[in-house]
Amino acid sequence: MIASKRWWAGVLLLAIGCNPPTETSPDPAGSLGDPAPEATSTVIPGSMVSSTWPVLMADDALRAPFEGHPGWAALVMQRDYPAALAAFGGDAPHALGQARVHAELAAAYRQALLVGANATVQIYGENRRDEDPVEVDCLLAVSYRLLAVDDPNAERMASCQTTELSALKAHAEAWQAWTGSDNWPPSDALAATPGQLGEPTTGAMPDAGTLPHWRTVDLVEGLEIQTASPAGLLGLALFHEQAAIAAAPQAEAALRASLVPFLLPSEPAGEVPGLLEVPLDLLFGSPMLVPADLSFMADVTRGSGVTAVETWKDRSALAAAVAPCVDVAVPSVDVGCVNENASRAFDQMRTAMEILSGGEQGYHRSFAELGRLGIVRAGEAVAESIGDETSMGLLRLNALDLSIGISAEPHYLLSIAAWDAGNRNSSRASDSLHAQVGHIPGVEVARFPLEALHVRMSRESAPGVPMH
């Protein structure tokens, strides 16, 4: 659990509620919402600021084990999962770091799966064409199931059983068995996962097998269509989830809570966790600032929205910062208020770190930026939860602008790509996905439907009209 280093608390409480430093972080999306009303400089309660991981890490002794380990450098500074897993190796004192990498990979593969599912629906849903081969109906039916969307054609799944492609048939029959039940995970489908996953092993990074998994042709021009089984990404996600728990079984509850915001729509989320014991290793270098932030974000993701903010605002730094920006009556989220509070919290944490360090240090700004990002993402999640799609979209774009350098978490960026694919923004989704190809083995499974969407949109675009 986070170390109780409170000998400086009196100094912090005097300082962090005062005026922030004159240099403030620029707002990359300041124009996305109206200016917020005047507010006090204190966004996160002073006693809570001293418990955030950026401020705790201003203690040289506490930071040293992380700062001097190549595994943490690869994970936090470079966001390089393969390098991080290799560096952590069998280092028992840093088993939580290895568990953290596996958990983030489990989230990343789920989001890559959503990229492909959303792209498939956009291509073959309402835009299904006569020349599309019958096999795509099976993929479309599976995508609807993954997205927890009712298939308007209840008979579509029959195409999974009638296809003539033997390679596809093995996968299709497994998915057919799953889509007819509420069981999770779909064990039959995972048994047909391409490649050799084997038993979840700490430190391992399997791939999705030889790609593409199968080929077919359109029925008019005879052009080859390459595609892959979504079971490949699901199998990888569950492999890494189990490897994370195997690496740090004592932190299973916290690891599972960290995954909740990235679960598939069709996946059971389980009960809302209470206040968890969260090791500092699972917070360091993330947008989650204090242990209660994990529970708050899990609660919001389950759809409780305004209720979650009220429940957690006295314990979660993210909830405390977002709470003044939520209009309970409408309900809605004030984008300008979230942006302003994120900037103020950034200043609070920098002030606190400078006091503890006896002056500004190079890491202060980047650590505080992660906190700023966390607040914007929390506002985004609340807006989505309560159905405020306009605010959600604006805050998501703001979070995307902030997700640079050490703030560029692959699993979150892939979630943006999934959103973009669902909105037919194939260009930006492709950029986000391709940035991870070569770093996260197997994510290219999502490339096939995404590229097909991009090609179809290109053909449909009028000359001279820019394509999203």
Q: How confident is the model at residue 227 (pLDDT cuts 50, 70, 90)?
A: confident
Q: Is the pLDDT of residue 245 over 80?
A: yes
Q: Which helix (H) or strand (E) holds 377?
A: helix 362-386
What pLDDT is recorded for position 172?
Answer: 67
What pLDDT is recorded for position 22?
Answer: 37
- 315 vs 143, more confident: 315
- What is the DSSP secondary structure assignment for residue 182, as one 8-state letter? -
pLDDT digits (tens, 9 = 90+) for 347-386: 999 999 999 999 999 999 999 999 999 999 999 999 999 9
Give percent above pLDDT 90 in the chain. Answer: 58
Is residue 156 a contact partner of residue 172, using CB atoms and an 8 Å limit? no
pLDDT digits (tens, 9 = 90+) for 147-185: 988 888 877 877 777 666 666 666 666 666 665 556 677
Site of tokens 């492709």: 430
Half-sphere exposure of 348 (CA within 13 A, CB side): 30
Q: Is the pLDDT of residue 30 over 60?
A: no
**What are the Cα distances from residue 421, in Å, to 213, 239, 248, 401, 414?**
21, 25, 34, 18, 10
What pLDDT is recorded for position 61?
Answer: 94
What pLDDT is recorded for position 81?
Answer: 95
Q: How confident is the model at residue 2 (pLDDT cuts 50, 70, 90)?
A: very low
Q: At CA 7, angle to CA 297 and CA 3, rounded to 5?
A: 40
Q: How confident is the model at residue 72 (pLDDT cuts 50, 70, 90)?
A: very high
Site of tokens 């400086």: 8
Q: Is the pLDDT of residue 198 over 50?
A: yes
Q: What is the mean pLDDT of residues 60-74?
A: 94
Among 257-261, 299-303, 365-369, 389-393, the range scoring the smallest mean pLDDT is: 299-303
Q: Is the pLDDT of residue 41 over 50?
A: yes
Cα gap 121→132, rounded to integer Å: 13
Site of tokens 């807006």: 383
DSSP 127-175: T--TTS-THHHHHHHHHHHHTT---S-TTGGGHHHH-S-HHHHHHHHHH
Site of tokens 């923004």: 425
What pLDDT is recorded for position 221?
Answer: 72
- Residue 18 identity: C
pTM listed for this prediction? 0.88
Site of tokens 């604006």: 394
